[in-house]
Structure 1
Amino acid sequence: MALTYTMKGNFFNLYAHGFARVAVGVPRCRVADPAFNAAQTLDLARQAAAQGAALVAFPELGISAYTCDDLFHQGALLEACERALGDIVAGSAALPAALIVGLPLRVNHSLFNCAVVVARGRILGVVPKTYLPNYGEFYEARQFTSGDCTVATQVELAGQRAPFGPAQLFEVADVPGLRFHVEICEDVWVPIPPSSFAALAGASVLVNLSASNIVVGKSGYRHQLVSQQSARCLAAYLYTSAGRGESSTDLAWDGQSIIYENGELLAESGRFLDDSHLILADVDLERLSHERMRQTTFGQSVLRHKAEAERFQTVAFEIGLAADQPLALRRRVERFPYVPADRRRRDERCDEVYNIQVQALVQRLSAIGMDKVVIGVSGGLDSTHALLVCAKAMDRLNLPRANIIGVTMPGFATSERTLQQARALMRVVGCTAMEIDIRPSCAQMLQDIGHPYASGQEVYDITFENVQAGERTSHLFRLANFHNAIVIGTGDLSELALGWCTYGVGDHMSHYNVNASVPKTLITHLVRWVAETGKVGDGSQVLLDILGTEISPELVPGKTDGAPAQRTEQFIGPYELQDFNLYYILRYGFAPSKVAFLALAAWHDRERGDWPEEAHVPRNQYELAAIKRNLGIFVHRFFKTSQFKRSCVPNAPKVGSGGSLSPRGDWRAPSDSEEVVWKADLANIPDAPPHG
């Protein structure tokens, strides 16, 4: 079921943007003391609801405790469990949340290990455990019957009648997209868990009520199990385990609880804690829906397992959630989605991206039988990284780096700094270095077309700029003809997204582009990684100097010596923010209002303690007004003015799951579409948060 989400309620409330807050509670328990256990459960449920959770899960057999063994066949205990459940049902009446609790239940003369779903004073459904472990330390088949061994479809419980059976889905009608399924412990340890079919039937959140004693290595295996199940099912997965208070006659308990979303860990509890504890996470239901819609093989799986999926019955209900009040996101949103904040992971990312680019270029040169490349070297960031990729490709091909023909082409506004950087970089890399002053040919072109500059007027219009860009490109392609080489493109993903490239020239057109799916923020770190790892020998300082150079096309002469007249980010917004916008719009199809909500969570706090460690990373802060303004620039340029450039880009390797803009890859779009629906959604974004 795809979720089409339109913002409802307060912009500053996470539920207005397709999120749902979920929780896992591990109450301290007493073996065979249902009243105590119910009280502990309700206390955690109230805490979770007070913090905005719509769904709270508790451990397997948590009302009785898991370690009751043959006490489960004692009538007094079973009756006490039902009374305790009645207390929980009564206590839930005032809570805007669904609770899932575990207890033993007698149905038709059999005993079942059950999960009971409760909300607003109602028992919504009872789910029996399907797979009963009877190996090692487990012997559940001694006391319980499998949920597959019953013909009952209804159960009388705590004065109510409720659906009974393993094939149930529960849909929270006032939280769009929140449809959950419950399985119990061993159910997820089997080759095909029941939750797999539940996901195909439409469940977006999978819940496991587990007890799960602890032995060496089991904690890590739980992570693997839950991570993979959430990833395969494109779902969120909530997992509980029993904690302090369970019997230690033969076992020990660590009370671990974890929440995953599509393979990513959102929250994890401490282990071996003495007291009751609770974890919460904000699950992105819209993201999960988008992934299922995008990954069409998910739909094919539904068809292949249609009979299993059709077995599920859906119980719909409301929890009375209020989405009109502010409720901030309690989810880590990375400021740099293309660049991991952790140094080790970032180095791994840079190494992999670099090698993908190099391997792709090696393959292209090998396939076409050419051993030379031509590349324009401006002394700026993109051409620097492309040149480094070319150098490594030549090394891999056992060819001399002199087969790289690097050309720097100073124009009317080229600064001495970038010119010297281009010269130094080519010298360090060891390529064949050429320098062509394009001013005479540009002056001739301007004169030929009758441009005012040719008659001495200081007219620096778009034609003046593009004449220079076009001359550079013409030189590169003719040099490639002359040397039997191909032109390597340097334009990056961020520039393509924003249309910040001139149609048909070097940052747009080439024979092969190694940078086309690498965003600007990642290229920055790639160049720094090459410098810090010494991959260019004594050239690290040159790379650091280039990284410290303000980004500018250098096409309009400045009024101050050495200072660029054009500062790219003044025109199109800061790359770090526009790359953030690009990631969520391209990868997940989020509306601008949701992207702004995420950006506010990521960028409004300068002091948040998850910045990359390096001192060179600026600790910028963006308030909502700046986020909205720059998002407006992105929406206009991405959806309205730039697609015709992306529709004809050269071949280039895709490097990451964040997407590319190749019409042969991740992005096919009409060149003459309108931006009205995205502009309309932008209007939903307030200019500032409410006071206080």
Structure 2
Amino acid sequence: MSDPQTTGRLSVALAQMNPGVGDLSGNIDRIRSARAEAAARGADLVAFPELSVTGYPPEDLVRKPFFLDRVEEAVRALAAETGDGGPALLVGAPWRDEGLCRNAVLLLDRGGIAATRYKVDLPSDGPFDEAGVFAPGPMPGPVNLRGVRLGLPVGDDLRSPDVVETLQESGAEMLIVPAASPFAADGSDGRLQLVVRRVTEAGLPLLYVNQVGGQDELVFDGASFVIAADRSLAAQAPAFEEHLLLTRWERGEDDLWQCREAGTAAPPEGAEAVYGALVLGLRDYVNKNRFPGVILGLSGGIDSALSAAIAVDALGAERVHGVMLPSPHTSAESREDAAETAELLGCRIDTIPISPAMQAFDAMLAPAFAGRDPDVTEENLQARIRGVTLMALSNKFGALLLSTGNKSEGSVGYATLYGDMCGGFAVLKDVYKTTVYELARWRNAHMPAIGRGPAGRVVPERVLAKAPTAELKPGQTDQDSLPPYEVLDDILAGLVDRDRSLREIVARGHDEATVTAVWTLLQKAEFKRRQAPPGPRITRRPSDRERRYPLANGFIAGSGTAG
């Protein structure tokens, strides 16, 4: 390590970390391990993501005093370790201050807590409710690390210019931003653009260290980066994996710090990025909840085939168990396609016919249904029989049951409660049907960087080519009940993702009656979405949790295009 005050040099390591929420000992071990690696590489400071000690978001855990007691004990013990003369640490933790709990960043150096700063701009939108559990901090000044003045805005403190402006006016020489910014398919450019705006305003270099990993519905992509004072990209960490990005700085003749050494990895884009987010989200949900593996129904259709591929890439084939549950309406082609999917992926598949259960239910319900013709009730029973069977296997063997429904179906309620929607995690929950096909084709042509499955084709070509069907009655296809998915998804993207009015969506070339029908289905399916399992969030506006419609809702049918 160098003495920045005398040498004009500073080495900062950005520790892109995958913490477990509430796993204090595990997170401290990760911090300790990253510090040891950074010390071996000559770092002066190791910066970690927002709330790295507890994991993000800790939600109502921070309301528990005994949890905060443990956090404080862990931080003070970690601070004592910096008395060995090694690198300083910049860690995040919930921290009590004058009777209030704040989202804090703490500088640990030379055996103690050298400085504490607090997050000012607390989000209360989307999936976050920091404003409900934290008190905002005062406007911060820089902290002094061995003669270098560091500004420490935290995550959303970048959303407005105020915090960065205050730090710049107070004499900060560079900005280090601990963050926990989740992945969104259209979000990485916006994150970078926001940082460039702040750098332009302040005229200071900015180091952005982001969390990586899955936490419940959220997936954090990492992709930490550095923007130099001239707004150029000076460093970029890889996405979707833990990484220690070492940056070496020198003070220039104009007193601006210049990044002289760093690594750069090109971030994934498009289908590659979405697929990586789904793999990481599923992997961490399974592993952090300590499931031995997953089980899912393999129907021979595109959704279950892609779900199985993601599961194998996330966990390895040995931890994925597929089950084919044929009925009298299941085609020979579907049986063959399910078997080929499992063969391509190398995972286990069992076949359990549901005909005996269908016959038992028909006999049991015959007196109650006397005089009534078969209808959607009998179709839904098939889905529920499959759901009960899969849940029984999940209970018996302890594996997590994956629901294979997609965002298109979930948005309009084209799924059966206690049947298709059974499961503990829905890996395609925020993925439109058209994107399901795009991802399957991408995976057949590419090996994901973090994948554990086989290279080459994993989704059978016939699965990609045939018309989607639930096979609940002879000759049935999805388009018997829904518009073509290209039409449906464009309408849903306008309603769900972009908050467009019905009139605006019709103006894009859609039939008015179709748009109104989709709007009606979207509203009426709210009660189903509230009972659906969680799934990885890959868009800014998923149709669950932070985006809800009233269950008793008079603004549905007959709304026309006036809205």
- How far is the alpha carbon of 1:683 from its aligned partner? 6.5
Given that 1:378 and 1:408 are in contact with CA atoms closer than 8 Å, whether structure 2 keeps it comes out as yes
1:301-351: CA deviations, max 9, x gaps?
xxxxxxxxxxxxxxxxxxxxxxxxxxxxxxxxxxxxxxxxxxxx9983211
Q: Secondary structure at the match of 2:269?
A: helix
Equivalent pair of 1:428/1:538 in contact (CA under 8 Å)? no
Matching residue of 1:553: 470
> 1:644: which partner in 2?
527
User: What are the within-5 Å matches in structure 2 for residues 142-541 of structure 1?
Assistant: 228=193, 348-395=269-316, 401-450=317-366, 459-506=373-420, 508-533=421-446, 540=457
Q: Aligned partners of 2:489 and 2:267: how far apart in 1?
A: 17
**Alpha-carbon distance, 1:580 to partner:** 0.8
Structure 1 distance, partners of 2:457, 2:275, is 17
C-alpha separation between the residues in 2 aligned to 1:449 and 1:594?
A: 47
CA 1:196–1:477 in structure 2 vs 1: closer, same or farther (change >3 Å)? closer
Structure 2 Cα separation of the partners of residues 477 and 541 of structure 1 = 26
CA separation of 1:410/1:346 partners in 2, compared to 1, >3 Å: closer, same or farther?
A: farther
SS in 2 for 1:679: coil
- Are 1:375 and 1:405, in contact at CA under 8 Å, matched by a contact in 2? yes
Please give the root-mean-square deviation of Cα atoms over the aligned residues, in Å. 3.2
- Kept in 1, the 8 Å contact 2:445–2:457? The answer is yes
CA, structure 1 residues 538+361, in 2 after alignment: closer, same or farther (shift >3 Å)? Answer: closer
User: Is the Cα–Cα contact under 8 Å of residues 383 and 416 in structure 2 kept in the other structure?
Assistant: yes
Deviation at 1:447, TM superposition (A): 1.0
- Counterpart of 1:634 in structure 2 is 518
Distance 1:529 1:451 in 2: 51
Give per-residue Cα distances to partners, 1:605-658, cap 9 Å, x unaligned.
Answer: xxxxxxxxxxxxxxxxxxx5xx2232122011012x21100112211110123x
**1:569 aligns with one of 479, 501, 505:** 479
**CA spacing shift, 1:681–1:196, aligned 2, 3 Å:** farther
Q: Distance in 2 between matches of 1:518 and 1:438?
A: 29
Q: Which runs of 4+ in 1 moved over 6 A?
A: 229-233
Structure showing greater radius of gyration is 1
Paired AA for residue 500 in structure 2: F
Contact 1:452 1:459 in 2 (8 A): no
Shift of 1:229: 7.9
Could you tell me how far apart the structure 1 residues matched to 2:310 and 2:467 are? Answer: 22
For residue 595 of structure 1, report the CA deviation from its aligned partner.
Answer: 1.2
Q: How many residues align?
A: 306
Paired residue secondary structure (1:573): coil
2:446, 2:484 → 1: CA distance?
A: 27
Aligned to 2:555: 675
Matched-pair contact (CA < 8 Å) for 2:495–2:519: no
From 535, 538, 544, the equivalent of 1:655 is 538
User: The residue matched to 2:460 in structure 1 has which SS?
Assistant: helix
Structure 1 residue 452 displacement after superposition = 9.5
Q: Does 1:587 align with 2:510?
A: no
- Aligned CA distance change for structure 1 residues 429 and 670 (closer, same or farther; 3 Å): same
CA positional deviation for 1:417:
1.1
Instruction: Report SS of the residue matched to 1:469.
Output: helix
How many Å separate the matches in 1 of 2:528 and 2:196? 35
Amino acid at match of 2:533: P
Which residue is equivalent to 2:211?
Answer: none
Per-residue deviation, residues 48-107 of structure 1 (Å, max 9, x unmatched): xxxxxxxxxxxxxxxxxxxxxxxxxxxxxxxxxxxxxxxxxxxxxxxxxxxxxxxxxxxx
**CA deviation profile, 1:124-146 (whole Å, cap 9, x unmatched):** xxxxxxxxxxxxxxxxxxxxxxx
Change (3 A) 1:443 1:483: same
Residue 490 to residue 417, structure 1, CA distance change in 2 (3 Å): same
Residue 537 (structure 1) shift: 5.2
Kept in 2: contact 1:531–1:544 (CA 8 A): no
1:681–1:482: structure 2 CA closer, same or farther, 3 Å change rule?
same
CA apart distance, 1:460: 4.0
Given the two structures, how large is their TM-score scaled by the length of structure 1?
Answer: 0.41
Cα separation, partners in 2 of 1:673 and 1:528, compared to 1, 3 Å? same
- Structure 1, unmatched stretches of 5+, are 1-194, 198-223, 234-344, 396-400, 559-564, 601-623, 685-692
Cα gap change, 1:231 to 1:510, in 2 (>3 Å)? farther
Query: Normalising to structure 2: TM-score of the pair?
Result: 0.50
Other structure's SS at 1:463 match: helix
- Structure 2 runs not aligned, ≥5 long: 1-159, 163-188, 199-265
Partner of 1:544: 461
Name the % identity. 23
How far apart, CA to CA, are the structure 1 residues paired with 2:308 and 2:379? 24
Amino acid across the alignment from 1:368: N
Question: What displacement does 1:360 show?
Answer: 1.3
Secondary structure of 2:457's aligned partner: helix
Deviations along 1:410-433, one digit per CA (max 9) or x if unpaired, are 112111111110011112211111
Cα distance in structure 2, aligned partners of 1:229 and 1:390: 34
How far the C-alpha of 1:682 sits from its partner, in A, is 2.4
Q: Which amino acid aligns with 2:386?
A: R
CA distance in 2 between counterparts of 1:629 and 1:354 reads 34
Counterpart for residue 83 of structure 1? none
Can you list the C-alpha shifts for 1:231-276, whole angstroms capped at 9, x where unaligned? 979xxxxxxxxxxxxxxxxxxxxxxxxxxxxxxxxxxxxxxxxxxx
Q: How far 1:487 sits from its partner (Å)?
A: 0.2
CA distance in 1, matches of 2:314, 2:335: 25
